[in-house]
């Protein structure tokens, strides 16, 4: 049986190419090949084609906030784009291989419209072709994909389990195959997923499943379950060797949601990878959970290849963390930041703005706390997916998928407006620019005008024209400028 695995073209304001590695589909392909199938994988968001698009109706609320031709350190999102070919063109490329089945992967619910557009093109051009869909985005809302009428096969939950149930049933050409989160609890060992991207020498790895933490805003457990499972180090290394062969690895990029929940296994894995690829450095852009580590662990991890640490605190407000069931001590986090800084590592710390019930002044408090530490600040604008706790499911039941993009700035939590979310986003850009304003004369001049006028500004066009942002929340801006230690240092 010939099976084509598809990562559809994506529509968004930005992409991070080195993270579009389709690890889930890589693992699915491995299982299907072991079952004797002929497999082709198409990762369309990695293609070179990029096209600017008209802002879709679901994101029309952003129109007043976009600045054409914007540039510079304080800029927001640019134009809305499609990353990858047109959907009909993508379908024709796949159709040339004459597959018996096409499986579409949906790694995030917010990209559901892209998956449906891809399926619509297949139905138009190849009406007899059998279509299946699976992935985290499908697993949290399977009925929506059943109702659309495009798909013969629906896979939910952990792909390696639901796919094996389909194979065990004789690989029928229609039906729904589920692997609910509680079924994952019996999984003894996770299967590693690995891919190698020759451009850049990037070895991407997903080596674990599940997370024992119960943060309300996180959807990980809806698909992977609460029990943390790991792949054996020997198995990971064997799969990595097969993917890399004799090619040069510059970066080992972990895509796991919680690498450090099993400290001993994590350090053993890093040691094995460092012995095999001694020149490579490591990253974990989904974050390393600081709650499982101490400063001595960071020193070991640094020696084994990590030069950048991505942490997440969710919020500096203890009440917010308690409501979201986000455990952890800020004092412990600060000790780890100090240790990482002492090693010369780069540090990025993320917080979430717009959590359900959170008031907009909390974003400024997060920024003021973090700016006192030697860390770059990453702001994540809250968005829900069906099934997460602490969120009214009726609000998202029939909502457009694209309103749940991280770039949509839709006020899901109720305590912020879109203008306040985007004010917080630009204040985080300002905070980061204040770390090293001397690096760029345009940035330095822009910050000087922001401080002088007490307003957020940006640069526009080839001549870096100073442009006002009339929609900004002045109370947030003034509160930050008046209390910011980085602003005071810059003003001196």
Residue 462 CB-half CA count within 13 A: 0
Q: Distance (Å, rounded) from C-alpha 32 to C-alpha 351? A: 39
Q: Distance (Å, rounded) from C-alpha 470 to C-alpha 160? A: 50
Q: Distance (Å, rounded) from C-alpha 431 to C-alpha 370? A: 9
Residue 51 vs residues 107, 256, 346: alpha-carbon distances, Å: 22, 30, 33
Q: Distance (Å, rounded) from C-alpha 456 to C-alpha 65? A: 13
* Secondary structure (3-state) at 197: strand
Q: Distance (Å, rounded) from C-alpha 56 to C-alpha 80? A: 9
Neighbours of 30 (CB within 10 A): 18
pLDDT in tens for each of the 492 residues of the chain?
999 999 999 999 999 877 788 999 999 999 999 999 999 999 999 999 999 999 999 999 999 999 999 999 999 998 999 999 999 999 999 999 999 999 999 999 999 999 999 999 999 999 999 999 999 999 999 999 999 999 999 999 988 899 999 999 999 999 999 988 776 666 778 999 999 888 789 999 999 998 888 898 988 888 888 889 999 999 999 999 888 876 789 999 999 988 999 999 999 999 999 999 999 999 999 888 999 999 999 999 999 999 999 999 999 999 999 999 898 899 999 999 999 999 999 999 999 999 999 999 999 999 999 999 999 999 999 999 999 987 887 888 889 999 999 999 999 999 999 999 999 999 999 999 999 877 788 899 999 999 999 999 999 999 999 999 999 999 999 999 999 999 998 887
Domains of the chain plus CATH, in order, are 2-54+78-179 (3.40.50.280), 180-306 (3.30.750.210)
Neighbours of 465 (CB within 10 A): 11
- The neighbouring-strand residues paired with 177 are 155
Query: In 260-269, which positions are buried (b, 16+ CB within 10 angstroms) versus exposed (e)?
Result: bbbeebbeeb
């Amino acid at each position: 049986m010939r099976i084509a695995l598809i990562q559809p073209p994506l529509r968004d304001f930005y992409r991070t190419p080195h993270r579009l590695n389709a690890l889930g589909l890589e693992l699915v392909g491995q299982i299907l090949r072991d079952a004797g199938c002929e497999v082709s994988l198409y990762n369309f968001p990695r293609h070179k084609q990029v096209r600017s698009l008209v802002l879709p109706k679901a994101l029309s609320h952003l129109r007043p906030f976009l600045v054409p031709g914007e540039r510079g350190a304080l800029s927001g999102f640019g134009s809305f784009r499609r990353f990858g070919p047109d959907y009909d063109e993508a379908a024709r490329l796949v159709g040339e291989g004459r597959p018996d089945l096409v499986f579409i992967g949906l790694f995030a619910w917010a990209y559901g419209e892209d998956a449906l557009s891809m399926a619509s093109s297949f139905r138009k051009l190849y009406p007899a072709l059998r279509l299946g869909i699976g992935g985290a985005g499908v697993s949290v809302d399977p009925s929506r994909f059943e109702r659309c009428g495009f798909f013969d096969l629906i896979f939910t939950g952990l792909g390696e389990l639901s796919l094996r149930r389909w194979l065990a049933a004789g690989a029928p050409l229609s039906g729904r195959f589920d692997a609910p989160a509680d079924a994952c609890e019996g999984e003894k060992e996770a299967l590693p997923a690995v891919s190698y991207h020759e451009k850049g020498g990037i070895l991407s790895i997903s080596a674990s499943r599940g997370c024992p933490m119960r943060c309300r805003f996180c959807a990980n457990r809806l698909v992977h379950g609460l029990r943390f499972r790991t792949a054996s180090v020997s198995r990971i290394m064997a799969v990595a060797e097969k993917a890399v062969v004799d090619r040069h690895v510059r970066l080992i990029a972990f895509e796991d949601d919680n690498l450090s929940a099993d400290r001993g296994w994590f350090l053993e894995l890093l040691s094995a990878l460092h012995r095999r690829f001694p020149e490579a450095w490591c990253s974990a852009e989904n974050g390393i959970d600081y709650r499982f580590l101490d400063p001595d662990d960071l020193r070991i991890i640094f020696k084994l290849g990590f030069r950048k640490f991505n942490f997440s605190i969710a919020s500096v407000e203890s009440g917010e963390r308690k409501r979201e069931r986000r455990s952890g001590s800020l004092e412990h986090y600060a000790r780890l930041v100090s240790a990482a800084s002492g090693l010369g590592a780069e540090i990025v710390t993320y917080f979430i703005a717009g959590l359900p019930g959170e008031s907009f002044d909390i974003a400024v408090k997060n920024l003021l706390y973090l700016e006192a530490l030697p860390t770059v600040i990453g702001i994540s604008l809250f968005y829900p997916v069906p099934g997460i706790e602490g969120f009214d499911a009726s609000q998202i039941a029939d909502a457009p998928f694209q309103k749940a993009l991280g770039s949509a700035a839709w006020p899901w939590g109720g305590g912020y407006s879109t203008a306040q979310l985007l004010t917080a986003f630009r204040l985080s850009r300002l905070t980061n620019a204040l770390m090293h304003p001397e690096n760029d004369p345009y940035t330095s001049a822009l910050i000087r005008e922001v401080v002088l006028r007490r307003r957020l500004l940006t640069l526009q066009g080839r001549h870096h024209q100073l442009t006002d942002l009339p929609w900004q929340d002045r109370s947030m801006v003034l509160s930050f400028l008046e209390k910011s230690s980085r602003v005071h240092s810059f003003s001196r």
